[in-house]
Amino acid sequence: MRVINVAAAQLGPIQKADSRQAVVKRMIALMDEARSKGADLIVYPELALTTFFPRWYMENQAEVDAWFEREMPNAATKPLFERAAHHQIAMNFGYAELTPDGHHFNTSILTDKSGKIVGKYRKVHLPGHSEFDTERAFQHLEKRYFEPGDLGFNVWRTLGGIIGMAICNDRRWPETYRVMGLQGVEMVLIGYNTPSANPEKRVEALEKRMFHNRLSLQAGAYQNSTWVVGVAKAGVEDGHPLFGGSLIVNPDGEIVVEASTEADELLVHPCDLDATRFGKNTIFNFAEHRRIEHYGLISSRTGAVPPPET
């Protein structure tokens, strides 16, 4: 057995007015609880340090940049890194990254148990739009504030296993998991901020949206025989609801734990990485069964092109 005791640390809402220091205090409280439950790794959501700011339309770049981190760790997050090192617990969290040469990414990092950053991922599949959209019930301006990630879908050998990261909308795309699956991934960490309502389809029920969340995470896990840890930022942020439903999925695609609130909530589960072996060696033995001669369109065509009508 190769067990990683994973803590999925769902965060409740973060209001626009909340400081990073206040959020870090909440993250530390969850980390203390995770440590008391024997966790080796704690996983926080996408954009964990602030409210989900892409819902707000901004034209002033200085105002936009105020939501970004110029270095990691920084003054606000140093206490979190120190507590992680003290507890000897690895961590993963998302934040808005502004690089020294002026690039903006929706980023996630993975540390080892000493608090050293061992992996970085930048969100590839940015949802939403880049200009104010009068047709939407509310805005989702990720395409305005971020560039698509430039690092690809890597995996890292750490904590005795092979671990990868993705962020929110990435979880809906099978390519996300498969590229990591082809590197032998054994656990994928995915934070998210998903509105409880669909701004482009007002009749879509919350149940349907949560079904799609589970469907995507469970399919990704099963089809690549990997653990998947999905962690929400949930609850009502300045009048805008985000759903919860943080969960851990085993390599058979089954949910082993799931959050029941939209508040700060911790789920802890022992994840045996050896449980990935069976699927990887049988039905999803890629070397044995994949037929890459038929997959060319996946990497050569972006949009669907139906055949001409006859």
User: In the complex, which residues of this chain contact ligand CDV (CB under 6 A)?
Assistant: 46, 127-128, 140, 168-169, 172, 192-194
Q: Which is nearer to ligand CDV, 94 or 251 (CB)?
A: 94
247-249, strands of its sheet edge to edge: 155-158, 161-167, 187-192, 227-232, 247-249, 255-258
63 among known catalytic residues: no
CB of 270 to ligand CDV, least distance (A): 28
What does the alpha-carbon distance between residue 158 and residue 2 come to, in Å, rounded to a whole number?
Answer: 12
Measured from the CB atom, the residue of 82 and 175 that comes closer to ligand CDV is: 175
Distance CA 96, CA 49 (A): 9
**Cα 194 from chain centroid?**
11
Active-site residue, from 142, 168, 262, 265:
168
Q: Which of 46, 97, 237, 262 is catalytic?
A: 46
Minimal distance, residue 261 CB to ligand CDV, in Å:
19
End-to-end CA distance of the chain: 57
The residue (of 193 and 250) whose beta carbon lies closer to ligand CDV is 193
Least separation, in Å, of the C-beta of 40 and ligand CDV? Answer: 27
Catalytic residue among 97, 123, 142, 265: 123
> How far is the CA of 5 from the CAs of 132, 212, 267, in angstroms?
43, 26, 10
Q: Give 186 or 262: the residue with its C-beta nearer to ligand CDV.
A: 262
Compute the least distance from the CB of residue 26 to ligand CDV, in Å: 20
Kindly provide the residue ranges of all beta strands, DSSP E only, lying in 80-180, ordered along the sequence.
90-98, 104-111, 117-122, 155-158, 161-167
CA 282 and chain centroid, separation: 28
What letters, b where the CB count within 10 A reaches 16 and e where it falls short, cover 251-287? bebebebbbeebebbbbbbebbbebbeebbeeebeee
Which letter, b or e, does each residue of 123-137 get, where b requires 16 or more Cβ atoms within 10 Å of its Cβ?
Answer: bbbbebbeeebeeee
Closest CB to ligand CDV among residues 115, 191: 191
168 is catalytic: yes
175 is catalytic: no
State in angstroms the smallest separation of the CB of 198 from ligand CDV: 8
Q: Which residues are catalytic?
A: 46, 123, 168
